[in-house]
Amino acid sequence: MDLSTPEVGGLDSIRTPALLIDLDAVQDNISATLRLLGNDPGRWRPHLKTAKLALTMESIRERGVRTAKCATTLELETACQAGFHDVLLSYPLTGPHVASVLRIAAEYPATAIAVLVEDPAMLAPWRGSRIGAFIDLNPGMDRTGMLLGAPERIEALARAIRDAELRFGGLHYYDGHAADFPPAEAERRVHAGYDRLLQLVERLALAGLKPPEVITAGTPAFPHAASYRRFAEAGVIHRVSPGTVVYNDRRSLSQLPPDAGYRTAVHVLSLVVSHPGPTRFCCDAGHKAVSADSGDPTCEIVGHPEYTPRHPSEEHLPVDVPAGTPLPPRGQLLHLLPSHVCPTVNNFDQAVILSGGAIRGVERVTARGHHPPLPPA
């Protein structure tokens, strides 16, 4: 894996903190993902909560990936604009969000749109629409979804989808907790979960409710899911949904195969602003720039393993250095590799786009945040 930063001229003119996206690295990461999937773009349903930019979504789409999933209605709308043919909004929807999805579906009739459901009562808002429904399953994360241990309830929901004359998209099973285990243990747990999931698929098929598609595996489970072939043997499409892989971060690089060809495509450019002590300096990338949701350290300072980032405040990132190590001068630029890139991208209104060792321009982070809380008057 390549942790280096590209040599780019003109960075000293950029106001910091700034989000840098290297399009060449993005393309390499898309290629690495497709290689792990046997160069079959039909096996990838990327989670666009990471990509955020229409430019990045279009880069994925241009490589033959037709399906995607997302977490917000704004991401859904951006994905439709980017030309994806089939998009799952993989977040429980209720209230005014239903109207937003129906509006987007009406504006993009060529895109197949689906939502998650975990109870028959969730079907009512979609009756009479062309919205599809995936059954959300709880693999052990205990965030959303139905437990696999209640197959009769899952079967009843699949039947209710059919009886409501809605398109049954299949099963959604996000096993992100694979990140909590060492690789060998994670693979064992991931494959054991898929074996149980396959039993459910077989039960539904016997009931005449065969799921057309099974979606699993964000980035933590992706390496273990890519090689699981039993769904294909059962005649069911198995798509994986890693999204972080398009940019990568400290956490994802520890979960992906080291020889797969992944690169770091996103850095936060930061400026040294203060020397508060002989073994500490401070730069301008607090948690309003680099997400702190993964704990400390929030980032790695590229090229400087001797620097130790400490707990940030809103605009400040204190960094410790060993005794006797010279402090970087005030005004020095640093490249920060986030621990969690997805919310870091969401911290910025705009991204500086790099390619070929040069600044190519600035792009809006198209799907940052959410749709406005109130519809236009």
User: Residue 305's domain is classified under what CATH number?
Assistant: 2.40.37.20
In a domain, 351, yes or no: yes
Average pLDDT estimate for 246-275: 95
- pLDDT interval class at 179 (50, 70, 90): confident
Q: In sequence order, what are the beta bridge partners of 308?
A: 320
Chosen domain end from 241, 258, 273: 241
Answer yes or no: is pLDDT of 181 > 80: no
Q: How large is the average pLDDT for residues 161-189?
A: 87
227 and 78 assigned to the same domain: yes
Domain endpoint, select from 241, 258, 276? 241
Tell whether 231 and 253 lie within a shared domain.
no
> Does 180 lie in the same domain as 298?
no
How confident is the model over 326-364, as pLDDT tens digits? Answer: 999 999 999 999 999 999 999 999 999 999 999 999 999
Is 253 found in the same domain as 233?
Answer: no
Domain range for 127 is: 45-241
Q: Rounded CA gap, 94 and 239, in Å? A: 26
Cβ burial of 106 (10 Å; 0-12, 13-18, 19+) is exposed
Name the band, by pLDDT with cuts 50, 70 and 90, for residue 162.
very high
Choose the weakest-confidence range: 79-88, 182-191, 251-260, 364-373. Answer: 182-191
Domain of 61: which CATH number? 3.20.20.10
- Per-residue pLDDT at 98: 97
pLDDT at residue 92 tops 70: yes
Indicate whether 29 belongs to any domain: no
Q: Rounded mean pLDDT of 15-32?
A: 98
Distance CA 54, CA 227 (A): 30
Examine the pLDDT at 183 and tell me if it is beyond 90: no
Query: Is the pLDDT at 217 greater than 60, yes or no?
Result: yes
Q: Is residue 128 located within the same domain as residue 209?
A: yes
As a whole number of angstroms, the distance between CA 82 and CA 55 comes to 8
Percentage above 70 pLDDT, the chain: 98
Q: In Å, how far are 60, 129, 335 from 78, measured between CA atoms?
A: 13, 21, 29
Q: What is the pLDDT of residue 56?
A: 98
Q: Over 60: is that where the pLDDT of 2 sits?
A: no
Are 287 and 343 found together in one domain? yes
Instruction: Tell whether 257 and 237 lie within a shared domain.
Output: no
What is the pLDDT confidence band of residue 177, given thresholds at 50, 70 and 90? confident
Kindly report which listed range (27-31, 183-187, 347-351) carries the lowest average pLDDT score. 183-187
pTM of structure: 0.95
Give the pLDDT confidence score for residue 187 in this predicted structure: 84
Range name among 23-37, 53-67, 134-148 with the lowest pLDDT average: 134-148
Of 189, 207, 241, which residue constitutes the final position of a domain?
241
Cβ atoms < 10 Å from Cβ of 182: 8
**Is there a domain that residue 375 lies in?**
no
Helix 96-107 crosses helix 73-81 at what angle (to 10 degrees)? 0
Give me the helices (H) in 69-135, please.
Answer: 73-81, 96-107
User: Is 39 inside a domain boundary?
Assistant: no
Cα-only R_g, the chain: 22
pLDDT at 164: 96
Task: Calculate the average pLDDT of the chain.
Answer: 94
pLDDT of residue 185: 81
- Provide the greatest CA pair distance for the chain: 72
| pLDDT digits 0-9 by tens, 40-65 | 999 999 999 999 999 999 999 999 99
pLDDT exceeds cutoff 60 at 262: yes
Whole-number pLDDT of residue 4 = 63
Residue 256 within a domain:
yes
**Does 376 have pLDDT greater than 80?**
no
Note the pLDDT of residue 3.
Answer: 62
Number of domains in the chain: 2
36 is a domain residue: no
Burial 33-64 (b: 16+ CB within 10 A, else e): bbebbeeebebbbbbbbbbbbbbbbbbbbeee
Q: Is the pLDDT of residue 34 over 70?
A: yes
Q: Is residue 263 part of a domain?
A: yes
Percent of the chain with pLDDT over 90: 85
Together in a domain, 330 and 351: yes
> Does residue 93 sit in the same domain as residue 149?
yes
Asked whether residue 28 is assigned to any structural domain, the reply reads no
- Residue 128 in this model has a pLDDT that exceeds 70: yes
